[in-house]
Amino acid sequence: MALSKTEEQLMQYLWKLEKAFMKDLLTIYPEPKPATTTIATLLKRMIGKGFVAYKLYGNAREYYPLIKKKDYFAKHVNGLIKTFFNDSASQFASFFTEETNLTKEELEELKKLIDKQIKEK
């Protein structure tokens, strides 16, 4: 299941904070801040989707992510490769290196990372 754009934004804040009460989430949002009810609705949907859980402290709920940012991002990148690049990592790499205006230094750093992965496999 995927997150909507607004859910994803809230998830970014939860990943950053690691755990948060409603007041913490309201504080981290930029102006104009969403209504408390809006954040509560988003959290309820995200709990239903299995992305967020909470601990009760009296009447207060402390929310925390159930999925790591890296895992969420990896799933999306793999889906992107499958959907837009015929499930070909090399087509994705070709597009990425040609279309993102990387500097020579950034390309060399990518090459080092790839060479390292090749050695480890």
pLDDT digits (tens, 9 = 90+) for 22-81: 999 999 999 999 999 999 999 999 999 999 999 999 999 999 999 999 999 998 888 889
Do 14 and 43 fall into the same domain?
A: yes
Do 12 and 59 fall into the same domain?
A: yes
Total residue count of the chain as it appears in this document: 121
Among 22, 50, 65, which residue terminates a domain?
65
Residue pLDDT, tens place only, 79-95: 889 998 998 988 888 88
Rg of the chain taking only CA atoms, in angstroms:
19
Q: Could you identify the residue written with the tokens 């809230």?
A: 10
Among 23, 40, 65, which residue terminates a domain?
65
Distance between CA 62 and CA 20 in Å, rounded? 5
50 backbone dihedrals φ, ψ, rounded to 5°? 85, 20
8 A C-beta contact, residue 13 and residue 25: yes
Provide the domain count of the chain.
2
Say which amino acid occupies 39. Answer: I
Is pLDDT at 1 greater than 80 in this prediction? no
User: Range of 84's domain?
Assistant: 69-120
- Helix residue spans in the chain (DSSP H): 5-17, 22-28, 36-48, 69-84, 89-99, 104-120
Do 96 and 76 fall into the same domain?
A: yes
Do 57 and 86 fall into the same domain?
A: no
Among 42, 65, 88, which residue terminates a domain?
65
User: What's the pLDDT score for residue 57?
Assistant: 96
